[in-house]
Structures are given as C-alpha cells and as structure tokens.
Structure 1
C-alpha cells in the first residue's frame, strides 16, 4: 500500500486489493503487460484511477503481485508428484492436475504465457531458481523409475515439457478448442485427459 502506514489492512482494504487483482488479471491475460493500462484495470474494477493508485502504486506493482501468486499455482501440480508412488499413477495424476489448472485458472495460464513470450523479464530469476530446481528434483525421480525398468527410458525434462505443452493448450487456446468441438462442455477436459494419457502411456510403458 502507499498510504504511508504499517497498520494491518482492514477488511475493506483487503477486499479492494483483491478486486483490483481480479480486474488486473482479466486485463493482463487479455492484453499482456505492455498492452494493459491502469485506466483499463481501474475501469474493470469499477474504481477511479486515483482510488486504484491508493492500493497499488503502479501497473508494475499489480503485475508483480499477480506473478508471485501465479508461480505457486504453476508449480504445485508438479510438487505433488510422489517419488514413492507408482510411476504411471503419479504421471496420470500430474496430467489431471495440469488439466484442472487449465480449467480453473485459464487467466493465470495466459498471464504466465504472456510473460514467457516477452522473455520473462519479471520472473527470469524464479525460472532459473525455484522452477529449475523443482524440474531437476522431479527429473531425478523420473530417471530412477526409468533405471528401475518401471518406465521406458526418455529424457525426463523433455517429458515434463511435453506434458506442459499439451495440457496448457487447453487454457491458452481454449477459445479454439471450444470452437472446433462446437461446445463448452467441461467434459472436454475429461476427454483430453483420456487422450493424453493414452498417447503418453503407450510411449512410457517399459518394453
């Protein structure tokens, strides 16, 4: 906040900040960081621009807070992959969690994609730090399963990238998916999971 105090925010202030974050998420996911303006965010939130600036000092401040929250949403599905579990069950669970994220957090997915397309200027340290560390950790698990003959041998990191690519499609290109299917029935996520599992598991079964 920019009111110069260290007092705990009131309930109304917390609600206003959340209202602004929600409005900004709509605007950023639609226009990207460069295309978004404070005027658009204020209008979407139903606030005046001066009122918005009482809670956030700049467009950059709002965007940074959204990205901070987004990274946990992005990493949590992979964190849940259990090294002691059955390999195919764990990979199936990961695919399902990623598709659930695509279903439940499409704006966040597009916000992340926009940031990456721009070269990740605001989260490059996190990508090279926590994200990279998590990928390396889970790659060790996948490689162990492969060495034990429980999965076909392939590159663990590129396996994770491939899962990202097919699951995030259902968030970033949802308009296209719904247009082709001619429906916005949420069963598309169940059908997607079944198809993706069939494709991946055929290649992952040990020979």
Structure 2
C-alpha cells in the first residue's frame, strides 16, 4: 500500500523519512560514513535523534537506505530508453536527466562515488544485480537500434559508462571544475553550458 494512502500517520512518516534521507545524504557526502554521526544527521534534518533511530534503527541501515535511494533515482531516467523510442530523443533525455541530478543533488553522487572508491562494501550486491540487469536491458535496446541502422555502431554497454563519467564528474569533481572555470561554485549557466556540451558530444559520437 502507498504510504500516502495510509492517512495522516503515513504522510508524516513519509515526510520525516524524506527529511532524514536528504539530511543524511549531505552529511555522508561531507563526513563519509565513518565521520558521520546520527547526531549530525538529526541536526541537519531538524528532527530529534530519536526519530532517526525510530525510522531507520541505526546509522548502517540509514546509510544503506541513502545509497538505495540514490541508485533508484539514477535508474528512473532510463525508463525512456525503449525499442519504440527515437534514439536521439531517448539518449538526450537520459543525459539531461543525469546532468540535472548532478546539479540538483551533487551530494548524492559524492556519497555513491565514495562508496565505490572504498570497494562498494555495502552496495556491491545491488551493483551486481539491479544495476547490472538495467544496463543489460538498456544496452540491448541500444544494440537493437544499432542493428536497425538507427544510430552509429557503438559499444552499447560502454556508452552507459561514458554517460555516467561525463555527467557525474560535475558533481563528484565540482571543486576541480569550479577552480578551472575560476568560480567559487558551479552556477546554473555553468551546468547549462556543460549539459549542452555533453549532449552534443555523445550524440555526435552516436551518429545522431
């Protein structure tokens, strides 16, 4: 049953969990798993520490929930990559969605990247199952487009790696990008410029 359909208590729980997950995403991005505390996250969320333990039980469970939410949000934009879709529009939409996530939720990307840099001890199973299945499914669609002459020959799996690298760098390495662009932080015009560049580069590489 949808939580929103459970009445006021369900809505309160849904709201509080969202607040906690968003706050935890920020704290884990800045302090890492080891450096983050439930007290820090409670302060960032504006909720009592007891609420965090009530909804998630422990820091470990909360960390897993944060990672799962990030991965889920990253997978949603792939839904437009279908056999019936127009290749250019589908790939462009996916790139733009990934760039938007990097701009709007850079902390989520940093938490995910830090987990991977440490060998993915928490989400390795998710990577080998859910993420792998998604890539296989969508790569098969891209390969079908190639076989039908609807786009240039590309490695359909490595295309996704390329998109991830090109889009997530603006979140994971925003300090480096900002320094080179001589700005304190990346602003909307910077993301617009970057998005148009990445879209153009990848679409041309795909012959679209």
Give yes or no for TM over 0.5.
Answer: yes
Query: What pairs with 1:118-137 in structure 2 (closer than 5 Å)?
Result: 118-137=118-137
Instruction: Give the alignment's Cα RMSD to 1 decimal.
Output: 2.4
Deviations 1:120-147 (A, max 9, x none): 2222222111211111111111111111
Distance 1:128-1:52 versus aligned 2 partners, 3 A rule: closer
Question: What is the TM-score normalised by the length of structure 1?
Answer: 0.83
Aligned length: 199
Distance 1:144-1:40 versus aligned 2 partners, 3 A rule: same
For the residues of structure 1 that align with 2:51 and 2:101, how far apart are their CA atoms? 32
Report what 2:5 is aligned to: none
For the residues of structure 1 that align with 2:79 and 2:159, how far apart are their CA atoms? 16
Distance 1:158-1:125 versus aligned 2 partners, 3 A rule: same
Report what 1:191 is aligned to: 193
For the residues of structure 2 that align with 1:169 and 1:192, how far apart are their CA atoms? 11
Residue 61 in 1 paired to residue 46 in 2?
no
Report what 2:117 is aligned to: 117
Contact conserved, 2:25 with 2:107, CA < 8 A, in 1?
yes
Name structure 1 gaps, 5 residues minimum. Answer: 1-7
Contact conserved, 2:109 with 2:171, CA < 8 A, in 1?
yes
* Greater mean alpha carbon deviation, residues 96-105 or residues 42-51: 42-51
Query: What pairs with 1:89-168 in structure 2 (closer than 5 Å)?
Result: 89-168=89-168
Name structure 2 gaps, 5 residues minimum. Answer: 1-7
Report what 2:39 is aligned to: 39
C-alpha deviation, 1:187, in angstroms:
1.7
Contact conserved, 1:79 with 1:134, CA < 8 A, in 2?
no
C-alpha deviation, 1:36, in angstroms:
1.8
C-alpha deviation, 1:16, in angstroms:
4.3
Question: What is the TM-score normalised by the length of structure 2?
Answer: 0.83
Larger Rg computed on CA atoms: 1
Contact conserved, 2:81 with 2:141, CA < 8 A, in 1?
no
